[in-house]
Amino acid sequence: MMNSRERVLKAFNFQEPDRVPFDMGSTQVTGINEFAYKNLRKAYGLPEKEIVYTDQIQGLAQPDDDFIDALGIDVRGLFPLNAHNWNVHAIDGDRYWLYHDEWGITYRKPKEEGLYYSIYQEPLKNEKLTPESIRNHPWPDFSDPIRIKGLREQAERYRAQGKVVVIKDPFAGIFEMSQRICGMDYLLILMASEPELAGLLFDQMVKLKIDFFTSALPQLKDVIDVVALMDDYGTQVSQLISPRMFRKQIKPRLKQVFDCVIENAPDAKRFFHSCGNVRPLIPDFLEIGVQILNPIHIKATGMDPFELKKDFGDQLVFWGGGVDTQGILPMGTPEEVRDDVRRNLEALMPGGGYVFNTVHDIQADVPVENIVAMIEALHEFGVY
């Protein structure tokens, strides 16, 4: 019987291992909400434990070792210190908890039944951007060694357990993080009307990512297997920006980041996440060095898993898309969950090149019996 790392690496090489590899919780886009995590621990007869957060903004739990073993999870994640998991100090704001992060972004979470924080105020939203305001903004320092404090020891422990190790991007993507700085509507207007100015903001994000990867990866490259990067370009039916605009304004900058990863961790696989319909952009992703695509948003237009596997299954590893998290997992029956998992495995597992995960993070309101049905279906139908 293979161990987890052997299983995943064989799938990465487009070969069929003993069973489909399974991820839950290795990144902030393949995770599980703290309440769902507590419920699932109870369902598997595991004792209560204090939650360690990988992302306090989204309320995501870091899976404990006993949980990993009980569910047969093959992948472990490293989470650099960032605004979502480090110095998250909430202050009392009447009906909300407020949090001001290192970027200058203000988040808030309702005190009553609040599950996660949402952006309340972007730092540069209410002023017209200028080259000076971009240059003079107090940007975080991602070359600070504290960002990866303890991660090497953690990775070595995961490797000793026979797991594949993923390190995630230290902050959101070039496009998405820029939205969080000046607001989505304003950024889209800038991209159409003043692309050079929008480009200065994108260039700042590229610089910060390169600062991180050039400082972190040389120290970790021998104990990691995957570098996970993220951005969001897709909607349910199309893209947030046209493919032409992506190719002109985002793609060259994204390539700089991927080139940096390749230079500093040449043996690590390169994982890229974008929600929604990104079908027209997949050839571009391949050109800049993407090797693993997540999440396979199966309910979005153009993202049928059978078609994606047919068109790109010999070039891309697919990671995710195992069950629909918009409808079936939270609102379906266990039998509907089981059927959805079986169908998606039939599409994506042949020939290897597939790691099972949900379409996105498992949310707080997902019935625990549906999560159990998903896992049981994976173990039944995900055997080669």
SS3 content of the chain, % helix, strand, coil (to 5): 45, 15, 40
**In-domain check, residue 298:** yes
Instruction: Identify the burial level of 121 via C-beta atoms within 10 angstroms of its C-beta, where 0-12 means exposed, 13-18 middle and 19 or more buried.
Output: middle
pLDDT, tens digit (0-9, with 9 covering 90-100), for 119-146 = 999 999 877 899 999 999 999 999 999 9
Nearest to 319 by CA among 286, 343, 352, 283: 352
Q: Grade residue 13 by pLDDT with cuts at 50, 70 and 90.
A: very high
**In-domain check, residue 162:** yes
Residues 6 or more apart in contact with residue 304 via CB below 8 angstroms: 298, 347
pLDDT, tens digit (0-9, with 9 covering 90-100), for 325-368 = 999 999 999 999 999 999 999 999 999 999 999 999 999 999 99
**In-domain check, residue 97:** no
Q: Grade residue 1 by pLDDT with cuts at 50, 70 and 90.
A: confident
Q: In what order do the strands lie in the sheet with 226-230?
A: 75-78, 164-168, 226-230, 269-273, 292-294, 317-319, 354-355
* Cis peptide bond N-terminal to 295, omega within 30: yes
Is the pLDDT at 6 greater than 90? The verdict is yes
Least confident of 35-44, 119-128, 180-189, 238-247: 119-128
Distance CA 273, CA 233 (A): 10
With beta carbons less than 8 A apart as the criterion, state whether 125 and 182 touch. yes
Question: Which residues span the domain enclosing 142?
Answer: 4-88+135-381
Residue 87 is predicted with a pLDDT of 82
Question: In the chain, how many domains are there?
Answer: 1
Q: Which residue has the tokens 């199966």?
A: 298
Distance CA 329, CA 178 (A): 31
End-to-end Cα distance, the chain: 12
Q: Give, in degrees to the nearest 5, the angle at Cα 262 between 171 and 29.
A: 35
Q: Grade residue 88 by pLDDT with cuts at 50, 70 and 90.
A: confident
Mean pLDDT for 296-322 is 98
**In-domain check, residue 367:** yes
Round the CA-based radius of gyration of the chain to a whole number and report it.
20
Residue 14 is predicted with a pLDDT of 98
**In-domain check, residue 364:** yes
**In-domain check, residue 245:** yes
- The CATH number that applies at residue 53 is 3.20.20.210
Predicted TM-score (pTM) of the model is 0.96
Distance CA 357, CA 355 (A): 7
Residue 355 is predicted with a pLDDT of 99
**In-domain check, residue 51:** yes
Is the pLDDT at 223 greater than 80? The verdict is yes
Residue 127 is predicted with a pLDDT of 78
Average pLDDT, the chain: 97
Residue 85 is predicted with a pLDDT of 86
Element (H, E) at 93: strand 91-93
**In-domain check, residue 114:** no
What are the start-end ranges of the E strands in 284-380?
292-294, 317-319, 354-355
Strand-pair category, 91-93 with 96-100: antiparallel
DSSP character at residue 183: -
